[in-house]
């Protein structure tokens, strides 16, 4: 029997609808819109697409979008000065500096300069620490989106065996922390894990975030497991000169074994921007000293 397809696009659309409702409530209560500032340095084509889509989604949710563009040769001091100005701007509730930055700029210094209370990407070391010890903070958007999809599919995750393939600060590590907080038994696997296939085969939940096209094979999957594929890899298509998107999981093989699986595209991807909007709105409520129920969004 084929796996159920976890429709991230539909879930994200519903989430964005709830965000828009709460954003309107925020505006009614404060007299201003929740504000998200996005900073783009340089002319990277993919980054420009991401920034445009984030700005469009922000406006559609009834929030204020502030876009700041710096030339590719902007200095570290110029970028840090802009971040500090946004930290001090009461109209800005969330700040996102689009990565990657040009190579002459120090990403970690820039991230560290963002106020932790406006760090809606969840990359600041203080927010990483808050996540690790279970305090309220901001969690990177992709793993939080994955957790939302898992809980929507499975309900309680307590006691389940989860394997996270990948140990990045953006996905792998925060994903493991989120699953641990849900009382999963968590294994972080990576390039040096011995007998990776056997480790994955024990998992009730598999989150693949390793950046290698179709690395996780169907034979690695425990029958009935839930598979979340974070990978977005462009590979050669069936026609000459054409490309296609695939995940880190061999979808055709895994979907014949798993109980449920996210597709690529249309799975985790749409959740990332939706959760960014969610984080920005949560920041707005917190910065304004307003209560927001934990399960509201």
Predicted local confidence at residue 120, as pLDDT: 97
Residues 105 and 153 in one domain: no
Q: Catalytic residue at 117?
A: no
Tell me, yes or no, whether 176 lies in a domain. yes
Longest CA–CA separation in the chain, Å: 57
Query: What angle (nearest 5°) sits at the alpha carbon of residue 5, between those of residues 296 and 237?
Result: 120
Q: Distance between CA atoms of 168 and 187, rounded to whole angstroms?
A: 14
Residues 72 and 109 in one domain: yes
Confidence of residue 278 (pLDDT cuts 50, 70, 90): very high
Confidence of residue 241 (pLDDT cuts 50, 70, 90): confident
- Dihedrals phi, psi of 25, to nearest 5 degrees: -65, -40
Residues 151 and 201 in one domain: yes
Confidence of residue 218 (pLDDT cuts 50, 70, 90): very high
Residues 108 and 168 in one domain: no
Residues 148 and 264 in one domain: yes
**What is this structure's pTM?**
0.95
Tell me, yes or no, whether 25 lies in a domain. no
DSSP string, 1-63: -PPEE--HHHHHHHHHHHHHHHHHHHHHHHSS--EEEEEEES--HHHHHHHHHHHHHHHHTT-
Task: Name the active-site residue from 33, 98, 118, 173.
Answer: 98
Tell the residue number behind the tokens 């965000």, with chain if given.
19
Predicted local confidence at residue 145, as pLDDT: 98
Of all residues in the chain, what percent carry a pLDDT higher than 90?
89
- Residues 148-184 have pLDDT tens digits of 999 999 999 999 999 999 999 999 999 999 999 999 9
Q: Catalytic residue at 98?
A: yes
Distances (CA, A) of 244 to 234, 237, 238, 239, 241: 6, 5, 9, 10, 10
Centre a 10 Å sphere on the Cβ of residue 100 and count the other Cβ atoms it contains: 12
Please say whether the beta carbons of 261 and 255 come within 8 A.
Answer: yes
Residues 91 and 170 in one domain: no
Task: Name the active-site residue from 33, 54, 173, 222.
Answer: 54
Residues 102 and 171 in one domain: no
Task: Name the active-site residue from 93, 117, 119, 121.
Answer: 121
Please state the domain count of the chain. Answer: 2
Residues 150 and 101 in one domain: no
Tell me, yes or no, whether 99 lies in a domain. yes
- Residues 81-120 have pLDDT tens digits of 999 999 999 999 999 999 999 999 999 999 999 999 999 9
Confidence of residue 1 (pLDDT cuts 50, 70, 90): low
Predicted local confidence at residue 25, as pLDDT: 96
Residues 81 and 157 in one domain: no
Confidence of residue 238 (pLDDT cuts 50, 70, 90): confident
Confidence of residue 224 (pLDDT cuts 50, 70, 90): very high
- Residues 29-67 have pLDDT tens digits of 999 999 999 999 998 888 888 899 999 999 999 999 999
Tell me, yes or no, whether 112 lies in a domain. yes
């Amino acid at each position: 029997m084929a796996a159920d397809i976890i429709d991230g696009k539909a879930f994200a659309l519903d989430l964005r609808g709830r965000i828009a409702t709460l954003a309107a409530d925020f505006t009614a209560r404060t007299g201003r819109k929740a504000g998200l500032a996005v900073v783009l340095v340089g002319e990277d084509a993919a980054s420009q697409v991401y920034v445009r889509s984030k700005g469009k989604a922000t406006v559609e949710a009834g929030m204020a979008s502030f876009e700041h563009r710096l030339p590719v040769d902007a200095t570290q001091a110029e970028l840090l000065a802009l971040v500090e100005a946004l930290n001090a701007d009461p109209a800005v509730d969330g700040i996102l500096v689009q990565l990657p930055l040009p190579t002459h700029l120090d990403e970690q210094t820039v991230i560290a300069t963002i106020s932790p209370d406006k760090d809606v990407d969840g990359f600041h070391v203080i927010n990483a620490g808050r996540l690790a010890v279970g305090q309220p903070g901001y969690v990177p958007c992709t793993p939080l989106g994955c957790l939302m999809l898992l809980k929507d599919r499975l309900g309680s995750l307590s006691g389940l065996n989860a394997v996270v393939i990948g140990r990045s600060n953006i996905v792998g590590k925060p994903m493991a922390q989120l699953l641990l907080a849900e009382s999963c038994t968590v294994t972080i696997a990576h390039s040096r894990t011995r007998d990776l296939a056997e480790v994955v085969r024990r998992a009730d939940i598999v989150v693949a975030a390793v950046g290698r096209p179709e690395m996780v094979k169907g034979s690695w999957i425990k029958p009935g497991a839930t598979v979340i594929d974070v990978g977005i890899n462009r590979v050669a298509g069936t026609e000459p000169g054409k490309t296609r998107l695939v995940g880190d999981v061999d979808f055709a093989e895994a979907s014949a074994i798993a109980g449920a699986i996210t597709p690529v595209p249309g799975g985790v991807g749409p959740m990332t921007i939706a959760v960014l909007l969610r984080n920005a709105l949560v920041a707005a409520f917190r910065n304004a000293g307003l209560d927001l129920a934990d399960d509201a969004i």
